């Protein structure tokens, strides 16, 4: 059965001490609550090991290298990420695609390395405003999925979590309507079913990301093909993150 997941993405925010304190505070605040989803914290690289040992909550890196090891100054490999205790790695975030030139071909390599090191990729896909206005959003999302993920075996694909994040909704306050999000999630699930079969598609967690918060999470998460969220801004404060987690 597919899992409900609410994953925070801190991006380049919080120093190490703030990150560790946040993780402990979140864990304390969640203790005793009956959670209907897995909670994941996506931290900068330098926080990973400390946060992973300070909390039982699942931890995600926000990136990993497209090379296994060697002379790549400044890069952090999937094996290094896995050695910290992180369970997930966010790959293909639109900020990585836009600001750091990550292509489908690069992301394909990152996905393979993440899986080879026992990490589950939270793989981000989504169209820009311009692409939606040109009615190209389904084609873009399909291309991003096919190019980076459809070389995988069914067994490996079943370790992938998809995050549909319309670029025009990230950090803008312009959340996709639940109808727009559900329509795209159903399309993504059908695209997966066409390649890997209905069972694999039904078991794939597909998260929504883009200005999700405590005010809209419940409506989004009630949609049949939305299995949780990738949360940026609203994951930076415990008081704002908990209502999203409680959207389930």
Residue 65 CB coordination number (10 Å): 20
- The smaller minimum CB distance to ligand PEP, of residues 83 and 172, is found at 172
Distance CA 162, CA 121 (A): 8
Of residues 190 through 209, those in contact with ligand PEP by CB under 6 A are 209
Q: Which of 93, 102, 127, 131 is catalytic?
A: 93
Binding-site size for ligand PEP (CB under 6 A) equals 13
Q: Which of 38, 95, 131, 165 is catalytic?
A: 165
∠ CA 159-160-162, nearest 5°, is 155
∠ CA 172-95-16, nearest 5°, is 95
Pairing of strands 228-231, 58-61: unpaired
Does 5 bind ligand PEP (CB under 6 A)? Our answer is no
DSSP 8-state secondary structure symbol assigned to residue 121: E
Nearest alpha-carbon partner for 127 in 167, 99, 93, 96? 167
- The smaller minimum CB distance to ligand PEP, of residues 196 and 232, is found at 232
Does 63 bind ligand PEP (CB under 6 A)? Our answer is no
Q: What kind and span of H or E run contains 159?
A: none
Binding mask 168-187 for ligand PEP (x = CB under 6 A): --xx----------------
Does 125 bind ligand PEP (CB under 6 A)? Our answer is no
Known catalytic residues are 93, 165
Contacting positions for ligand PEP (CB under 6 A): 9, 165, 170-171, 209-212, 230-234
């Amino acid at each position: 059965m597919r899992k409900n997941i609410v994953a925070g993405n801190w991006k380049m925010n919080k120093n190490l001490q703030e990150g560790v304190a946040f993780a402990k505070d979140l864990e304390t605040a969640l203790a005793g609550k009956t959670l209907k989803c897995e909670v994941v914290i996506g931290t900068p690289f330098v926080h990973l090991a400390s946060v992973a040992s300070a909390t039982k909550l699942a931890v995600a890196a926000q990136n990993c290298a497209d090379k296994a090891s060697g002379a790549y100054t400044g890069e952090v490999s999937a094996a290094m990420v896995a050695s910290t205790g992180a369970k997930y790695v966010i790959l293909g975030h639109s900020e990585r695609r836009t600001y750091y030139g990550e292509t489908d071909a690069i992301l394909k390599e990152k996905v393979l390395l993440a899986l080879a090191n026992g990490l589950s990729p939270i793989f981000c896909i989504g169209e820009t405003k311009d692409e939606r206005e040109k009615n190209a959003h389904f084609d873009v999302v399909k291309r991003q999925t096919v190019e980076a993920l459809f070389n995988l075996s069914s067994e490996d694909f079943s370790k992938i979590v998809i995050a549909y994040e319309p670029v025009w909704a990230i950090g803008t306050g312009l959340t996709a309507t639940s109808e727009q999000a559900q329509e795209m999630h159903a399309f993504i699930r059908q695209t997966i079913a066409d390649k890997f079969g209905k069972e694999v598609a039904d078991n794939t967690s597909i998260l929504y990301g883009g200005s999700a918060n405590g005010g809209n999470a419940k409506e989004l998460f009630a949609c049949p093909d939305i299995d949780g969220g990738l949360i940026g801004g609203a994951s930076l404060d415990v008081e704002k993150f908990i209502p999203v987690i409680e959207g389930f």
